Amino acid sequence: MLLEKVKQTITKHKLIDYNDTIVLGISGGPDSVCLLHVLNELKEEYSLKIYAAHLNHKIRGIEAQKDAIYCADLCDDMKIPCFIRAIDVPKYCQENGLSIEEGARILRYNMFFEIKEKVNATKIAVAHNLDDQAETVVMRIMRGTGLDGLKGIEYKRDNTIIRPLLDIKREEIEKYCYDNNLNPRIDYTNLEDIYTRNKIRLKLIPYMEENFNPNLKESVCRMANLLRDDSDFIDNEANKAFDNLCEKESERTIKINTQTFSHIHNAIKNRIIRKCISFVIGDLKGIEQKHIEDVMALIHTEKNDLKINLPKGLILYKKNSSIIFTDEEIKSESINYTYKIPKSGYIKIKELNTLVETKILNKEDINLCSDDKYTKYFDLDKISGELEIRNRRNGDKIKALGLGGTKKLKDIFIDFKVSKEERDKVPILCDQKGIMWVVGYRMSEDYKIDTNTKKVLRISIKKL
């Protein structure tokens, strides 16, 4: 019965392919022993090559030594090659500031992947079961989680790590071991309620089953499977949005446009942010929901030229209408340029890759109703001396049209939310008297067209 259920799980979730080579993590406990026996039974049907891998964590003293001996003997009986390694997990955890559970998991998977490379394996099989799934989901609910957390443990990850027992209850596994005379080892620390997971397993879930739902574990796992489908759909939509919205500037720098981003649903926004972070630092370890909220706050603030630092060297910059995710300091280079402008003709500003076009016209030939902010008309007789176009200078002021007085360029840039890095790129049109036009933003009162105007100078600025 259990063998058939495992085969159904394998088929439904496409866990195993014909001719796979599998590294199987074996602790000596019922779950991994059951999985080893099951895959050995299916070996000929799927033409599998199986290797076992056991890690002695050096936590349980002589009992851990017995676990290793048991695994070696069991694999020998099944004619399955077995790799055994001993690592001082408590020492590793102390040196790296990790909990025993987290440190043991990291070292265990490091070993699995190392063996996978050594034997040229295609899959890594681990023995999580239905009870593990229910405990994981309940634990995540208690800690507070989103949809990704509620979908629980994946049947398959990165098409490499597979969990064929995820639909099998622990009591079924124990019966299978008994029926097949496997005599697995028992880790009695699993019966001590000193860890959060053990408390959930030994106290909370039995209490909930007794008082609320005798089929609690099955119900929780069914919920996780339903939510996994929903999460997968949203992930697919997020991937499309990520590809459309995000501009990859280098291998470790990516940029999103905040204006386009603001129109996306929040469920997609969160995933795009996480994908941007993963792009820069490789994964989401150390990134918490509060960090995602910090990014969202940065995106939605009206302020510019902001910077925040997140864990693992991640840096976020807000510049104009963009958020830049990177792990490098961005230093802006100042731009300096000055060009003499003819009153009729063309000139290129190479620093901005921009063309300036000037033309003298009769007053009656112009369209003052145009709302093109990069084309302006000036009274030719009010212009004094030669024209020049340049970048800003300290102390620059303009008698801005319609404002009734002079105003510093710095204040104009602040009003229009122009970032400090972009301000040097804004062309400033001048004559010998002063500033005529802050291109794209403000024109001077002193050069406006009036009833006495006869000749007009039209100036247009175009990006090449």
Helix axes 100-119, 89-96, angle to 10 degrees: 110
Q: Is 342 annotated as a binding residue?
A: no
Coil, strand or helix at 115:
helix
Number of H helices, E strands in the chain: 17, 22
d(CA 239, CA 136): 26
Q: Is 273 exposed, middle or buried (0-12, 13-18, 19+ CB in 10 A)?
A: buried
Asked if residues 82 and 75 have their Cβ atoms less than 8 Å apart, the reply is yes
Asked if residues 382 and 434 have their Cβ atoms less than 8 Å apart, the reply is no
Coil, strand or helix at 246:
strand
Torsion of CA 73, 79, 85, 90, to 10 degrees: -60
Instruction: Quote the strand ranges of 296-427, DSSP E.
Output: 306-309, 315-319, 322-326, 338-341, 345-349, 354-362, 375-379, 387-390, 397-399, 406-408
Q: Is 444 annotated as a binding residue?
A: no
Q: Is 30 annotated as a binding residue?
A: yes
Q: Is 67 exposed, middle or buried (0-12, 13-18, 19+ CB in 10 A)?
A: buried
Q: Is 32 annotated as a binding residue?
A: yes
Coil, strand or helix at 259:
helix
Integer Rg of the chain from CA: 34
Proportion of the chain in helix, strand, coil states, percent, rounded to 5: 45, 20, 35
Asked if residues 220 and 212 have their Cβ atoms less than 8 Å apart, the reply is no
d(CA 323, CA 257): 7
Q: Is 231 annotated as a binding residue?
A: no
Binding residues: 27-32
Binding residues for ATP: 27-32
